[in-house]
């Protein structure tokens, strides 16, 4: 192509893509998009012009030892690769690159290695860990996994709601209803219960006064209140670490609003010095973030009594401004990503705009990855209050399903397997569509064993794994894979060709859905191949070649699942 089109080969790489496998018909392996290599903008070219150009180009190209067939399609030139070469090259590459298959592709050769800070999960101490926090946790974990796989340096930050008036109330509640042993053994649950109880008395003047006093002392760093607050925080984090571990999630840093109290005062002073802070009649501090500077859009950064607003994240950017500036100073990152639900989009838009107004041009490299709301996730005991409720529920439902299916073999650790399969179900249901869309959660749909579910992915992985176990673990050196000519084998090979493009798409828009639909298709194709290409009873040469194919499919399936935050199971 480079000779005929007189273009350097590296310019062509992005214009050539692997052809998605079709159930209905046999397809070529690669296609060149004509629009992307013709001069001028593609909208100038009419469809028939492009088709004509494709035909002309196809006529000028000749088949060789690599390409066995060239044809023109609608605006594309299609290439079919010599079948033996296809099988040999793809399988060699998958086995050689192992967990780095797809990541080493030339698609990523021009992407600079960067340092990314990702803030996700971020629950509030003593409050419900709602489904939005769960979404933030699994989405943030996926983005971090993907970036690490692509060779970037990632700092995972959990930014806790660990400050504010509610801690005054919580402390008063703890003095009345608290129990030191319960705080140690199950802090999240105990603090939540205390908070619910004291909230019933929150309107009582005496309670209000005590809460205010406690919080004032806390702000003045009075030793006793500080030590109680620290216990609330430390025990909660310890328990979170244990639960996150069940999810396969970890953090490099547990930060929180409490870290930035003094710094947020400094930010207010900077805003004042730069002439960005305006006072309303009531004395509230605001920053004008409108285009025309007509206050049509503004952000409130300070209460009328001069304290920065850290009641809730929705309201107060000054703490977030301080956190962003501090992280830049500490980590000098290339990109910072906040993963929260879409109701906070406005907050982050304002945040990034104020940073820009303050003269921080790195605000351009901040990004808010937002997601929609999930309706209807309930456990058998009622609504979800703790993350652990969800994990226990998914495990018990999966155990029940496993017990009732006839194909379940005796497995070593049914509890752990049930948890891993159940989590896969949860994650796939969440990641199938665009992150921004809301969806209705359904346990039954998520935990189906057939169809496009996480259970089906795990089942496929376990099945391919046991096939390998049964037929020879000996590492074969000189397998002749040239005999893999059946349509179902070719489909798997063609699909494996596309893995790098799918990773590339997800790395561009940070959406897991591309990888999810790729893995579901891979599992369906592997199931068809498993049916039509028996290993047992075939000649040794054929058996070895087919095993090699299934091994490659399992390897890529496992890689993709791990990126999504799923631990592949080997028995089910």
User: How buried is residue 474: exposed, middle or buried, by Cβ count under 10 Å (0-12/13-18/19+)?
Assistant: exposed
**Active-site residue (options: 104, 127, 331, 356):** 127
What are the φ and ψ backbone dihedral angles of 425, each rounded to 5 degrees? -60, -45
**Active-site residue (options: 128, 133, 190, 420):** 133
Told to judge if 495 belongs to the known catalytic residues of this protein, a careful annotator would answer no
DSSP assigned state of 430? H
Name the pairing type of β-strands 16-18 and 153-160.
unpaired
Told to judge if 130 belongs to the known catalytic residues of this protein, a careful annotator would answer yes
Told to judge if 342 belongs to the known catalytic residues of this protein, a careful annotator would answer no
**Integer Cα distance of 35 and 104 in angstroms:** 27
**Do residues 416 and 424 touch, judged by C-beta distance below 8 A?**
no
**Active-site residue (options: 128, 130, 368, 461):** 130
**Integer Cα distance of 18 and 495 in angstroms:** 8
Q: How many helices (H) and strands (E) does the chain have?
A: 21, 16
**Integer Cα distance of 124 and 163 in angstroms:** 9
User: How buried is residue 229: exposed, middle or buried, by Cβ count under 10 Å (0-12/13-18/19+)?
Assistant: buried
In terms of phi and psi (left: phi > 0; alpha: psi -120 to 50; beta: otherwise), the region of 382 is left
**Integer Cα distance of 529 and 489 in angstroms:** 6
Helix axes of 513-532 and 414-431: crossing angle, nearest 10 degrees: 120
Residues classed as catalytic: 127, 130, 133
């Amino acid at each position: 192509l480079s000779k005929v089109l007189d273009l350097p080969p590296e310019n062509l790489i992005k214009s050539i893509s692997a052809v998605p496998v079709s159930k209905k018909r046999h397809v070529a392996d690669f296609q060149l998009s004509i629009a992307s290599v013709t001069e001028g903008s593609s909208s100038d070219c009419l469809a028939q012009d492009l088709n004509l150009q494709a035909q002309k180009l196809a006529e000028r190209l000749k088949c060789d030892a690599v390409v066995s067939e060239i044809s023109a399609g609608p605006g594309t030139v299609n290439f079919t690769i010599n079948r033996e070469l296809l099988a040999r090259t793809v399988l060699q590459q998958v086995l050689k690159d192992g967990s780095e298959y797809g990541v080493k592709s030339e698609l990523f050769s021009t992407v600079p290695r960067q340092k990314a800070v990702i803030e996700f999960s971020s629950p509030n101490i003593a409050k419900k860990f709602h489904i939005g926090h769960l979404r933030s946790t699994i989405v943030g974990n996926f983005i971090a996994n993907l970036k690490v796989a692509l060779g970037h340096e990632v700092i995972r930050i959990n930014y806790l709601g660990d400050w504010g008036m509610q801690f005054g109330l919580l402390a008063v509640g703890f003095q009345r209803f608290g129990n030191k042993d319960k705080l140690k053994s199950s802090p999240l649950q105990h603090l939540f219960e205390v908070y619910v109880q004291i909230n019933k008395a929150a309107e009582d003047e005496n309670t209000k006064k005590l809460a205010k006093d406690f919080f004032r002392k806390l702000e003045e760093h009075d030793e006793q209140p500080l030590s109680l607050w620290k216990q609330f925080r430390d025990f909660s984090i310890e328990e979170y670490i244990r639960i996150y571990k069940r999810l396969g999630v970890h953090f490099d840093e547990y930060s929180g609003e409490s870290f930035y109290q003094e710094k947020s005062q400094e930010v207010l002073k900077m805003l004042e010095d730069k002439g960005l802070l305006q006072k309303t009649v009531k004395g509230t501090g605001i920053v004008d973030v409108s285009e025309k500077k007509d206050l049509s859009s503004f952000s409130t950064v300070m209460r009328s009594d001069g304290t920065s607003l850290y009641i809730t994240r929705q309201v107060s950017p000054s703490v977030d401004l301080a956190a962003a500036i501090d992280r830049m100073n500490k980590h000098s990152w290339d990109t910072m990503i906040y993963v929260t639900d879409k109701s906070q989009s406005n907050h982050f838009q304002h945040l990034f705009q104020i940073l820009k107004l303050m003269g921080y041009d790195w605000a351009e490299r901040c990004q808010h990855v937002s997601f929609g709301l999930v309706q209807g996730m309930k456990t058998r005991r009622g609504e979800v209050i703790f993350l652990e409720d969800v994990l226990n529920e998914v495990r018990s439902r999966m155990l029940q399903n496993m017990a009732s299916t006839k194909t379940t073999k005796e497995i070593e650790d049914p509890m752990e397997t049930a948890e891993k399969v159940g989590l896969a179900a949860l994650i796939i249901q969440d990641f199938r569509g665009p992150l921004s869309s809301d969806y209705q959660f359904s346990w039954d749909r998520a935990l189906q064993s057939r169809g496009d579910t996480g259970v089906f992915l795990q089942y496929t992985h376990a099945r391919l794994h046991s096939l390998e176990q049964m037929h020879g673990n000996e590492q074969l050196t000189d397998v002749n894979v040239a005999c893999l000519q059946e349509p179902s084998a070719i489909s798997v090979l063609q699909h494996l060709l596309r893995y790098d493009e799918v990773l590339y798409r997800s790395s561009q828009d940070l959406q897991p859905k591309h990888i999810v639909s790729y893995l579901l298709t891979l599992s369906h194709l592997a199931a068809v191949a498993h049916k039509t290409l028996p290993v047992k009873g075939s000649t040794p040469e054929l058996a070895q070649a087919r095993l090699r194919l299934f091994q490659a499919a399992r390897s890529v399936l496992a890689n993709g699942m791990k990126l999504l935050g799923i631990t592949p199971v080997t028995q089910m």
